[in-house]
Amino acid sequence: NAGVTQTPKFQVLKTGQSMTLQCAQDMNHNSMYWYRQDPGMGLRLIYYSASEGTTDKGEVPNGYNVSRLNKREFSLRLESAAPSQTSVYFCASSGHESKGSEAFFGQGTRLTVV
Amino acid sequence: AQSVTQLGSHVSVSEGALVLLRCNYSSSVPPYLFWYVQYPNQGLQLLLKYTSAATLVKGINGFEAEFKKSETSFHLTKPSAHMSDAAEYFCAVKNQAGTALIFGKGTTLSVSS
């Protein structure tokens, strides 16, 4: 059972380049999320999708776009990467049948923008 | 708006000592609270969660947390630390709509022999 799978695991970009981070879950969850983790900042929500076809901004959406391709997949796109976007990115999913449902996380993508 | 504050960015204990990681929350509605653990270069793993069923919640690896409404706290404890407990720990609360988790800044636990 794979859970939440993120690709790639590592990436180095030059300033101004674009890229898409991929995420897929096999737990039939409705909700999916993208977080970024920076030292001393915890995890901050970039975007989330409560169901297929819907997306909403989180705490730090600037510079990012997302696509909920289908129920399984939720991608994060950086159109023009900046050094401030150097971070570790985590995708997560949860069933939102109840507010008490927890999120399941992928292994992360470590992105460096030079 | 919902938020969590983790007191102490770094906690150090000796092997066999009590582990206490502090978390205080702010919530305008009855909260749903979570503790996650992150080992180096890995994703986050759920330790335990509070969903109003019981105030003392037991989780994996011998951890437990007690919900105290009067103190707006959800502190994580373990009676006896093990070297393998060294990791970063995050407290989180569901947002008001129940659609996403809001995380604290994390506490790094070091365990010495």
Give per-residue pLDDT as tens, A33-62: 999 999 989 999 999 998 888 999 999 999
pLDDT above 70 as % of chain A: 96
Nearest chain B CA: its distance from A16 CA (Å): 27
Per the CB < 8 A criterion, the answer to whether B110 and B86 are in contact is yes
- Per-residue pLDDT at B29: 79
* B109: Cβ contacts below 8 Å, ≥ 6 apart: B11, B12, B13, B19, B21, B81, B85, B86, B87, B88, B89
Confidence at A6, pLDDT banded by 50, 70, 90: very high
* B61: Cβ contacts below 8 Å, ≥ 6 apart: B37, B47, B78, B85
Which chain A residue's Cα is nearest to B94? A99
* A58: Cβ contacts below 8 Å, ≥ 6 apart: A33, A34, A35, A44, A45, A46, A47, A48, B100
B interface mutation test: which of A25, A43, A110 has the most B CBs within 10 A?
Answer: A43
- Per-residue pLDDT at B78: 98
Given a cut of 90, is residue B37 above it in pLDDT?
A: yes
A84-106 pLDDT, tens digit per residue, is: 999 999 999 998 666 778 899 99
